[in-house]
Amino acid sequence: MKQTSPNPQKTIPPAAWGLMALLALLWGCSFPATRAALEEVGVMTTVAFRVAGGAIALWLVILLRRLPVSGGWRAVLIFAGMGFMNNVLPWCLIVWGQSHIASGLAAILNASTAIFTVLLAALVFADERLTMRKAGGVLLGLAGVATVMGLSALAAFDLTSLAQLAILGATVSYAFAGIFARHYLGGQPPEVAAAGMLTASSMMMIPTALTLEGVPTFDYQPQTWVALLYMGMIGSALAFLCYYRALRMAGAGNVSLVTLMIAPVSVVLGALIFDESLTASDYLGFLLLALGLLVIDGRILSFAPIGTKRKSA
């Protein structure tokens, strides 16, 4: 007789699939939008526009919905820590990296976030130990990263290889942010947590951008303004709202599949808009990385279709 597993895989409702597809599109478009902004705007200023625009949009949502906001110095310090690890450091690394490599390639490397999150979480949390299945998925994912980068890139160690390492550094920062959030970010409505995080990020990035790159001219081409507004209002604020709603509907494990959906969006848009082309090893590396994430998720080894609950004998 079969019994339901004590930790069944949460099903993904059709509405959640729609949100996840929208989220993949929103975040996938952020990579070509970043490249478009970099045509006229510096790296630090681009990040400052993104975090400030996202913060403004989210606070408007909070005011309109009258969500409760609790403060205090502890909350400020937590938002500052999350802002640095989840926004300031990774976005600066990604934006700088995109100034030297294709947006599609940056999105592929960004998909390794889940790999490093699994590794770091296993070191910190007793309930997220590195099982044989997860270890196999991590090895596949790391093999994918190595395939994308290539030994020749590491041997040459030019700006291109350094840019790829910067993207990987961003994914490690995301992983630390996830661990930090689990420890300290409970008790706040997700929208308030995201707004506080982006506000703290803005307070870090605006002075940094002004010091290193000066006062923006604001005399940008229309396409640059569209890219900047998109990254702040859509790629940050709206994407966070979609993410947290999908998280409530489908669970963290299922929503992590979005990382597999972002890269194809960025690759296609990069080819259509900027005539970017990737190598066969880039695509092979992404397939290995995707397979590793699916193994970590458990669907490959359990042969359970997405949207069904697993059972054990």
Q: What is the pLDDT of residue 3?
A: 43
Residues of the chain with pLDDT under 50: 1-8, 303-313
Q: What is the pLDDT of residue 277?
A: 85
Q: What is the pLDDT of residue 155?
A: 61
Residue ranges covered by each domain of the chain: 12-312
pLDDT tens figures, 242-253: 888 887 777 666
Q: What is the pLDDT of residue 285?
A: 87
Q: What is the pLDDT of residue 1?
A: 39
Q: What is the pLDDT of residue 76?
A: 87
N- to C-terminal Cα distance for the chain? Answer: 7
Tokens 């976005």 sit at which residue? 91
State the SS3 of the chain. CCEECCCCCCCCCHHHHHHHHHHHHHHHHHHHHHHHHCCCCCHHHHHHHHHHHHHHHHHHHHHHHCCCCCCCHHHHHHHHHHHHHHHHHHHHHHHHHHCCCCHHHHHHHHCCHHHHHHHHHHHHCHHHCCCHHHHHHHHHHHHHHHHHHCHHHHHHCCHHHHHHHHHHHHHHHHHHHHHHHHHHCCCCCHHHHHHHHHHHHHHHHHHHHHHHHCCCCCCCCHHHHHHHHHHHHHHHHHHHHHHHHHHHHHCHHHHCCHHHHHHHHHHHHHHHHHCCCCCHHHHHHHHHHHHHHHHHHCHHHHCCCCCCCCEEC
Measured CA to CA, the distance from residue 52 to residue 209 in angstroms comes to 12
